[in-house]
Amino acid sequence: MDDADIIFIDEGQKVKTIGQTIKLLVDHYKEKKQVLVTGSSSFNLLDKTQEALTGRKRVYNLYPLSFPELYPKKDRLQIAKELETHLIYGSYPDVINQKGFSEKREALEELASSQLYRDILEFIVFRLPPYFSNKRKEITKLKKIYFFDVGIRNILINNLNLLDTRSDAGALWENFLIAERMKKRAYEKIHSNQYFWRTYDQKEIDLIEERDGKLYGYEFKWNAKKRSPKAPKDWLEAYSNSSYEVITLENYFDFIL
| Statement to judge: residues 141 and 108 lie in one domain | yes
| Statement to judge: residues 71 and 158 lie in one domain | yes
| Statement to judge: residues 228 and 164 lie in one domain | yes
| Statement to judge: residues 41 and 150 lie in one domain | no
User: What is the pTM (predicted TM-score) of this model?
Assistant: 0.73
pLDDT of residue 235: 93
DSSP string of 216-232, one letter each residue: EEEEE-SSGGG---SPP
| Statement to judge: residues 45 and 71 lie in one domain | no
For residue 10, what are the domain limits? 6-49
- In a domain? residue 54: no
Task: Name residue 192's beta-bridge partners.
Answer: none
- In a domain? residue 59: no
| Statement to judge: residues 10 and 118 lie in one domain | no
CA distance linking residue 122 with residue 124, whole number of Å: 6
| Statement to judge: residues 22 and 139 lie in one domain | no
The single-letter code of the amino acid at 140 is T
- In a domain? residue 151: yes
> Which phi and psi (to 5°) does residue 6 adopt?
-125, 135
Residue 218: partners with Cβ closer than 8 Å, 6 or more residues away = 177, 181, 205, 206, 207, 208, 209, 244, 245, 246, 247, 255
Select from 186, 132, 175 the least CA-distant residue to 152.
Answer: 175
| Statement to judge: residues 26 and 85 lie in one domain | no
Burial class (CB in 10 A: 0-12, 13-18, 19+), 168: middle
CA distance linking residue 197 with residue 181, whole number of Å: 17
pLDDT of residue 127: 87
| Statement to judge: residues 104 and 188 lie in one domain | yes
| Statement to judge: residues 19 and 79 lie in one domain | no
pLDDT of residue 94: 45
- In a domain? residue 159: yes
| Statement to judge: residues 83 and 202 lie in one domain | yes
Mean pLDDT by 10 residues, the chain (257 residues): 78 80 80 78 64 69 79 60 62 47 56 53 82 91 88 86 88 94 93 95 95 95 76 91 92 91
Task: Name residue 39's beta-bridge partners.
Answer: none
